[in-house]
Amino acid sequence: MIQNQDLTLPSVVVFGVGAQRGIGAAVCRRFAQEGLKVHVVGRTATKVDRVTTEIINLGGQAISHCINIENQAEVKALFDSIHQERVEAVIHNVGGNIPSIFLKTTAGFFNKMWKSTFSSAYIVSQYSLNVFQHQQNGTLIFTGASASMRGKPYFAAFTMGKSALRNYALNLAKIYKPLNIHIAHVVIDGMVDGDRVNQAVLGFGRLLRLTRGTGGLNIDAIAENYWMLYQQKKELWTHELDLRPYQEKF
């Protein structure tokens, strides 16, 4: 674990941090830029440590946590370790987009995708909302996808989890808004200009992103919108935000 810790600082917990050029890492950097301590959470130690080190080198406060976000005991242990802090926001940015042919898809694959796209969000939200209720405020943001709104061929398993997450998040928003807890669901509607896409299939992902004519969603612009959601006043809270490349035709 790499850390640079000040218990007096308000903090944000970002789940699902991977590559330095990814949504999770960009969100970590954006919140750290504003002086919040960032808990950088992912399943690969080298990746979360790299993001944490980058933030610390830029003068920010960050702590890396390598856990299995689908494991309730590990998520609980993380929240137990920060119980003395004032957690301002929690970001759930988990769930890989993996295609499969429906009639050749095993039940095991469906279960794996369900745990990644939905169950992990359920676990994270339970512990987050316990903290926020005690504090009487907080912001919880879920990362969605095009699949949250509509299914596409070969992505039935991914759509199943992401569409469930969307309905779950919007339901939580109604329940917890009167308790001064802001819950938002962000639809990332398009290919992201990040390492996951650009390095996919020996670089074919980058070629596909460029040839679609949209250029992909900029990760720093996405992070800016997460920061905007966190800053919103309760008089006008956004509970769902749809982000897509400006060149895309509706």
The answer to the question of residue 249 being in a domain is no
The answer to the question of residue 248 being in a domain is no
pLDDT of residue 197: 47
Between residues 41 and 105, the one the model is more confident about: 41
The answer to the question of residue 24 being in a domain is yes
Percent of the chain, pLDDT > 70?
86
Classify residue 246 by its DSSP letter: T
The answer to the question of residue 5 being in a domain is no
Number of domains in the chain: 1
CATH of the domain at 237: 3.40.50.720
Class of residue 7 by CB neighbours under 10 A (exposed 0-12, middle 13-18, buried 19+) = exposed
Mean pLDDT across 29-38: 97
pLDDT of residue 1: 65
Q: For residue 215, is pLDDT > 60?
A: no
**Bridge partners, residue 241, by sequence:** 186
Give pLDDT tens digits for 191-213: 787 545 444 444 544 445 455 55
The answer to the question of residue 250 being in a domain is no
Helix 156-176 and helix 120-135, axial crossing angle in degrees, nearest 10: 10
Residue reference for tokens 């499969």 = 100
Domain holding 176, by residue range, is 11-243
pLDDT of residue 95: 79
The answer to the question of residue 209 being in a domain is yes
Residue reference for tokens 């970002």 = 14
Residue reference for tokens 């998520």 = 75
Between residues 194 and 177, the one the model is more confident about: 177
